[in-house]
């Protein structure tokens, strides 16, 4: 049983900005980048070697320096390793405890959250190898697509699972009489329906990631990048940017607004209560603060990156986004600790079933 909540230091968000420059070649077609600048190589004499399976891309020296620099090859994978070492065992423990329950319907949202966190962290293991291997992807195009879709899909599944759990918490605290009128059968059906809907929606939403080329061999370098250097044709440029902006709105902005309202309402009503809710209010504020710290910088930078790319054809924010995305993995390893923290700081008479005990007087679980 854990007794202390671990606070993780945030990695320094620094990286070089890249200039929009690339050499023109007579047999190279220039197209705007999704991430870092790059141009595909067509009919090049350097492609005669049939052993080269990935499309070849030409990038500037600045991009190569960042790709092989200390931020990309040491700081980013180090953050992932910390999240993996803490998150995988703790989420496996949560799933093991939940699976031993006679009825999973009462905690299906928590089970879904633990599964999405675990899949996200597992997908990071290949990303760690990729970064430590000087950003050279050796697992092939299919694996690159699966890891990319798994990473982003499970981030948004995790966020939406938090939203569903916070809404039930809101009903229990702010509208306790309404909450008590919900039967176990109705609650189970609603939990299954929402969890299944979340997984289906974001499984479909990740389909475009399988339709575009994700891995490219860098011209003149022994590097195969995965998702980091991604040029695309003009038709894709018109479709993928609105798609990814919509994905950020659906996957982060909308649930974040709901979660902010829920936590604000809970703290407001507990503050007006005659009982002493100071510890739980502090814990709720901390949980919401960690949620924002972990997810807001990444999604805000990604949103700004696509807007800037679409309006000004500039991509300098992507280097900062790559560092900020590490924070998302931290939240996946913190979820079990946040759940335990809220459990220990609650003294509510409202009954919930927690994975830490059969019947606990807890107000919420993360």
pLDDT tens digits, one per residue of 35-93: 544 455 544 444 444 345 667 877 777 777 777 788 888 999 999 999 999 999 999 99
Average the pLDDT over 235-251 and give the result.
79
CB neighbour list of residue 133: distance below 8 Å, 6 or more residues apart: none
Q: Which has the higher per-residue pLDDT, 113 or 66?
A: 113
CB neighbour list of residue 352: distance below 8 Å, 6 or more residues apart: 172, 360, 362, 363, 364, 365
Predicted local confidence at residue 248, as pLDDT: 92
Quote the percentage of the chain above a pLDDT of 90.
Answer: 28
DSSP 29: E
Residue 20 in contact with residue 355, Cβ under 8 Å? no
Q: Which has the higher per-residue pLDDT, 120 or 322?
A: 120
The two structure tokens encoding residue 264: 């604000």
Q: Which band of pLDDT confidence, cut at 50, 70 and 90, is reported for residue 108?
A: confident
The 10s digit of each residue's pLDDT in 194-225 is: 999 999 999 999 998 888 888 888 887 888 88
Give the separation between CA 154 and CA 118, rounded to whole angstroms: 9
Classify strands 56-58 and 215-218 as parallel, antiparallel or unpaired: parallel
Q: How far is CA 56 from CA 138, 231, 234, in A?
A: 15, 11, 18
Task: Evaluate if residue 184 carries a pLDDT over 60.
Answer: yes
Q: Which has the higher per-residue pLDDT, 293 or 13?
A: 293
Nearest to 353 by CA among 339, 334, 333: 339
CB neighbour list of residue 248: distance below 8 Å, 6 or more residues apart: 299, 302, 303, 306
Give the separation between CA 331 and CA 325, rounded to whole angstroms: 11
Radius of gyration of the chain (CA): 23
Residue 40 in contact with residue 57, Cβ under 8 Å? yes
Mean pLDDT rounded to a whole number for the chain:
75
The two structure tokens encoding residue 115: 């599964």
Q: Which has the higher per-residue pLDDT, 198 or 229?
A: 198
Q: Which has the higher per-residue pLDDT, 317 or 13?
A: 317
Task: Evaluate if residue 343 carries a pLDDT over 80.
Answer: no
CB neighbour list of residue 110: distance below 8 Å, 6 or more residues apart: 94, 98, 165, 339, 355, 365
Average the pLDDT over 239-249 and give the result.
86
CA angle 61, 64, 70 (to 5 degrees): 125
Predicted local confidence at residue 361, as pLDDT: 38
Give the separation between CA 4 and CA 337, rounded to whole angstroms: 8
- Of how many residues is the chain composed? 366
Q: Backbone dihedral region of 83: left (phi > 0), alpha (psi from -120 to 50 degrees) or beta? A: alpha
Q: Which residue has the tokens 């319907």?
A: 105
Give the separation between CA 92 and CA 321, rounded to whole angstroms: 29
Give the separation between CA 229 and CA 220, rounded to whole angstroms: 15
Q: Which band of pLDDT confidence, cut at 50, 70 and 90, is reported for residue 168?
A: confident
Residue 178 in contact with residue 171, Cβ under 8 Å? yes
Lowest mean pLDDT among 173-187, 315-329, 345-359: 345-359
The two structure tokens encoding residue 51: 């052993």
CB neighbour list of residue 154: distance below 8 Å, 6 or more residues apart: 116, 117, 119, 120, 123
Q: Backbone dihedral region of 313: left (phi > 0), alpha (psi from -120 to 50 degrees) or beta? A: left
Q: Which band of pLDDT confidence, cut at 50, 70 and 90, is reported for residue 98?
A: confident
Q: Which residues pair with 215 in a beta bridge?
A: 226
The 10s digit of each residue's pLDDT in 268-303 is: 888 877 666 777 788 888 888 999 999 999 999 989
Burial of 227 (0-12, 13-18, 19+ CB in 10 A): buried
Predicted local confidence at residue 203, as pLDDT: 92
Q: Is the dihedral of CA 169, 171, 172, 175 positive or negative?
A: positive
Q: Which domains are assigned to the chain? A: 30-357 (1.20.1070.10)
């Amino acid at each position: 049983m854990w007794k202390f909540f671990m606070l993780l230091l945030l990695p320094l968000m620094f990286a070089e900005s890249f200039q929009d420059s690339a050499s023109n070649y007579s047999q190279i077609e220039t197209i705007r980048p999704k991430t870092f600048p790059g141009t595909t190589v067509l009919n090049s004499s350097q492609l005669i070697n049939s052993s080269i399976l990935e499309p070849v891309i030409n990038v500037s020296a600045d991009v190569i320096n960042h790709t092989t620099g200390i931020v990309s090859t040491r700081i980013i994978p180090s953050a992932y390793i910390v999240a993996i070492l803490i998150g995988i065992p703790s989420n496996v423990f949560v799933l093991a405890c939940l699976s031993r329950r006679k009825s999973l319907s009462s905690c299906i949202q928590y089970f879904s959250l633990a599964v999405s966190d675990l899949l996200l962290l597992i997908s990071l293991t290949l990303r760690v190898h990729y970064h430590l291997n000087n950003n050279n992807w050796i697992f092939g195009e299919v694996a690159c697509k699966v890891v990319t879709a798994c990473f982003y899909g499970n981030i948004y599944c995790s966020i939406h699972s938090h939203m569903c759990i916070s809404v039930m918490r809101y009903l229990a605290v702010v509208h306790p009489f309404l909450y008590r009128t919900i039967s176990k059968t109705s609650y189970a059906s609603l939990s299954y329906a929402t969890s299944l809907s979340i997984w289906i929606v974001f499984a479909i939403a990740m389909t475009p990631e399988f339709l575009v080329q994700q891995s490219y061999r860098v011209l003149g370098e022994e590097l195969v990048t995965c998702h980091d250097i991604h040029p695309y044709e003009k038709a894709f440029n018109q479709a993928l940017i609105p798609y990814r902006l919509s994905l950020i709105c659906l996957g982060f902005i909308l649930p974040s607004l709901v979660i902010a309202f829920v936590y604000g309402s809970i703290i407001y009503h507990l503050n007006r209560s005659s009982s002493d809710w100071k510890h739980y209010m502090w814990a709720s504020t901390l949980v919401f603060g960690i949620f924002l710290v972990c997810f807001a910088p990444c999604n805000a930078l990604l949103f700004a990156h696509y807007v800037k790319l679409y309006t000004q054809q500039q991509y300098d924010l992507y280097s900062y986004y790559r560092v900020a995305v590490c924070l998302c993995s931290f939240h996946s390893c913190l979820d079990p600790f946040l759940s335990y923290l809220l459990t220990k700081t609650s003294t509510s008479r409202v009954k919930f079933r927690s994975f830490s005990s059969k019947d606990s007087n807890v107000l919420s679980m993360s």
